[in-house]
Structure 1
Amino acid sequence: MSVGIVSYGTYIPKYRIKVEDIAKVWGDNADILSAGLMVNEKSVPDLDEDTVTIAVEASRAAICRSSLDPSRIGAIYTGSESHPYAVKPTSTIVAEAVEATPEMTAADLEFACKAGSAGIQACMGLVQSGMADLGLAIGSDVSQGAPGDALEYTAAAGGAAYIIGNKEEEMVAIIEDTYSFTTDTPDFWRREGMPYPEHGGRFTGEPGYFKHVLGAAKGLMNKLGTSAEDYDYAVFHQPNGKFPSRVAKMLGFSKEKIAPGLLVTRLGNTYSGSCLMGIAATLDQAKPGDRIFATAFGSGAGADAFSFRVTDKIDKIRDKAPRVEELLANPVYMDYAMYAKHKGKIKRS
């Protein structure tokens, strides 16, 4: 039974801070940082924005784009590493907000930056088995970075939502297959009650990101008998601009194929929303028949690879909700003091 994307939606806060304004506070060299990270600025949530509000906005955009009845959604999974409650699901709030309750199942997922892609896989299984008509998978984060830490230069805010179904007349992109590669690699973690995550420094690249992204990507290509030449576009998790560019080259993908989905230079790392946002930006311009290869990565560590084939339904729904480029346009810039206030780094006594 075929399964695929019925609709998608995204949300990005309007606020931004430039890398140079963060570097100015900590005495770092902004030019070296920008060149090394390939990040110029990142998104910042408003004072009343969090993982829930971002997930709701992205989900509403997905529903609006497809004009479907939300009561058909039988499962909602929200992936994030910044859920506002330690005990209270984000997904039930989203479900109520989009009017998908009560005849449905919901749960929150956590696997660093690939919790959103894990949600897509869960929805695929439920839809294919007939347990749900449609599934809603969300990757949403207001990611954290300790003051002065390397993560502070990239940790951003944003989210993407995907409605998964199996009706041929509704799918805008068929999911040809998926493949996962997972090990216990503690390259990044945050203990209960701690406000900021810690990371293994150089171990984030190897044996973290590259081993797992390559493992999942090569595994899926071997499974399908494909290579980079068989795809029109490719998207990879974007902790910075350097890693996805390097891994794309290692797999044989040209700069042109990853360009539409490489958003990190202007957006930062939206964690669970990172790869999903890149896929959405690619769908925003893909043509019927195009094939998209994507691999999400989550520290801890694992990667999920997907192969998509775009259908002619994409042209009918694409412009019924804001495109990623529209959400990136007209940003409002803030200085470090305002950024610290928005991120809760400055607290009243």
Structure 2
Amino acid sequence: MAGIVGYGVYIPFYRIKVEEIAKVWGDDPRAISRGLVVQEKSVPSPDEDTATISVEAARNSLKRANIDPQKIGAIYVGSESHPYAVKPTATIVADAVAAAPELTAADLEFACKAGTAGIQVCMGLVDSDAIEYGLAIGADTAQGAPSDALEYTASAGGAAYVIGKNNTLADFEGTYSFTTDTPDFYRREGKPYPRHGGRFTGEPAYFKHVLSAAKGMFEKMGTDASDYDHAVFHQPNGKFYIRAARKLGFNEDQYQTGLLTPYIGNTYSGATPLGLAAVLDIAQPGDRIMAVSYGSGAGSDAFSITVNDDIEQKRDLAPKVQELVENKSYVDYAVYAKFKGKLRMAGLTQH
């Protein structure tokens, strides 16, 4: 089967702490931090969007892959915050990484699992020998309405994966998906902020799909939690991630490395891909990884992955997740609101 030839990540430089947001809305920061298991989140600067994040992640993935970008046969960018309503982000990435025009490219949207959907598409194209290499990206600059619970977690970041059969650093053993029509979270056309179903987003949405996909993967592979060295899940907050991991039988040593939300927030389509990248940054040859995404609406993609010997030669060729997590500067709420475009003057329209 296809495998991961290279991976790359990007996380914006700026951060805002939970207590800074709570101070503005009169919330208890300690209760927020404990309840969501989030301390701070990344904030994109005014000149950063899903396209720029995708380009940076893609370039880093190609550094590790060490392939000619002209050999890329497909590029998919999964996001729910594409900068254009009608204009693909994927073509911007293709041009920026100097890919040949003889490729297929598209933007994908499935809330927070669009990035892993792109990985699955690339896996299929590679396995069928339709292309030699595919580039799958999950990236977002997530939105949360002022004073909404999402404002404490909605952040920005992304990860890119070069998928192919040759010179892989990790190999896919299998994938399994679980999908239903569960409208727990949505944003209508033209609306700046999404709406969510509150507690409804837990049991019938996130947990049902993540657990079902993971258990389906277990059954398909004939495995259980004890067969994996690492586990990564979608992380709308740290609380859901940890609870899902424990329900499936994973312990802290297995799930801790991929848990990034406490330090950078929920990067939406970038969340599971970034968590997986953090694991690949420290994984040893022979390690087995389970990765499970989740997208509202609703569905989950699960992957069983085995790391091979080439990881040792490739992982230091591009910035690691932890380096970007630690490279940061804090902003206050006023700067954050300006950067995120939360301040809009009446009568002005954006073109």
Q: Smaller-chain TM-score range?
A: over 0.9
Question: Does structure 1 conserve the Cα–Cα contact (< 8 Å) formed by 2:285 and 2:308?
Answer: yes
Q: Contact 2:81–2:140 (CA<8 Å) still a contact in 1?
A: yes
Match among 327, 343, 347 for residue 344 of structure 2: 347
Amino acid of the structure 2 residue aligned with 1:63 = L
Q: Which segment is superposed worse, 58-67 or 301-310?
A: 58-67
Query: What corresponds to 2:146 in structure 1?
Result: 147
Contact kept in structure 1, 2:65 and 2:162, CA below 8 Å: no
Q: Secondary structure at the match of 1:226?
A: coil
Q: Give the Cα–Cα distance (whole angstroms) in 2 for the partners of residues 195 and 63 of structure 1.
A: 33
1:348: Cα distance to partner?
Answer: 4.2
Shift of 1:247: 0.7
What is the aligned partner in structure 2 of residue 219 from structure 1?
Answer: 216
1:286 maps to amino acid: A
Q: 1:272 aligns with which of 269, 285, 299?
A: 269
Q: Which residue of 2 aligns with 1:128?
A: 127
Residue 156 (structure 2) aligns with: 157
Once the two structures are superposed, the pairs formed by residues 323-338 of structure 1 within 5 Å of their partners are 323-338=320-335
Q: CA deviation at 1:68?
A: 1.1
**TM-score when normalising by structure 2:** 0.98
Q: How does 1:213-252 map to 2 (within 5 A)?
A: 213-252=210-249
Contact 2:71 2:132 (C-alpha < 8 Å) held by counterparts? yes
Question: 1:66 deviation in Å?
Answer: 2.1
Aligned twin of 1:104: 103
User: What is the letter of the counterpart of residue 143 of structure 2?
Assistant: Q
How far the C-alpha of 1:130 sits from its partner, in A, is 1.0
User: Could you tell me which amino acid in structure 2 is paired with residue 161 of structure 1?
Assistant: A
Misfit runs of 4+, over 3 Å: none
Identity of aligned residues (%): 66
Mapped to 1, the partners of 2:245 and 2:322 lie a distance apart of: 22
Q: Name the CA distance, whole Å, in 2 between partners of 1:312 and 1:348.
A: 56
Task: Determine the C-alpha separation between the residues in 1 that align with 2:316 and 2:324.
Answer: 13
Matched, 1:16 2:15: yes
**Counterpart Cα distance in 1 of 2:153 and 2:254:** 23
Equivalent position amino acid for 1:162 in 2: Y
Kindly tell me the number of residue pairs found equivalent between the two proteins. Answer: 346
| Residue number in structure 2 paired with 1:72 | 71
Deviation track 1:270-299 (CA, whole Å, cap 9, x = no partner) reads: 000000000000000000000000100000
* Distance in structure 1 (CA, Å) of the matches to 2:3 and 2:177: 17
CA shift digits 1:210-244 (9 cap, x unpaired): 00001100001001100000000000000000001
Task: Describe the SS at the equivalent of 2:215.
Answer: helix
Equivalences for residues 252-271 of structure 1 within 5 A: 252-271=249-268
Q: How far apart, in 2, do the equivalents of 1:194 and 1:9 lie?
A: 31
Alpha carbons 2:232, 2:258 under 8 Å: kept: yes
Q: Look up the SS of the partner of 2:343 in the other structure.
A: coil
Q: Which residue of 1 aligns with 2:168?
A: 171
Q: TM-score, normalised by structure 1?
A: 0.98
- 2:285 counterpart (264, 285, 288): 288
**Pairs within 5 Å for 1:165-204:** 165-167=164-166, 170-204=167-201
Q: Is the 8 A contact 2:5 2:64 kept in 1?
A: no
Deviation at 1:57, TM superposition (A): 0.1
| Corresponding position of 1:53 | 52
Confirm or deny that 1:297 pairs with 2:279.
Answer: no
d(CA) in 2 for partners of 1:151 and 1:101?
Answer: 39
The secondary structure found in structure 2 opposite 1:85 is coil
CA distance in 2, matches of 1:72, 1:32: 50
Which residue matches 1:309?
306
How far apart, in 1, do the equivalents of 2:26 and 2:345 lie?
Answer: 26
2:208 partner letter:
K
Which whole-Å CA distance do the structure 2 matches of 1:203 and 1:101 have between them? Answer: 45
Where does the alignment leave 5 or more consecutive residues of structure 1 unmatched?
none
Q: Secondary structure of the residue that 2:257 maps to in structure 1?
A: helix
Report the CA distance between 1:166 and its aligned residue: 1.1
Q: Which runs of 5+ in 2 are unaligned?
A: 347-351
Tell me the equivalent position of 1:34: 33
Determine the structure 1 residue equivalent to 2:349: none
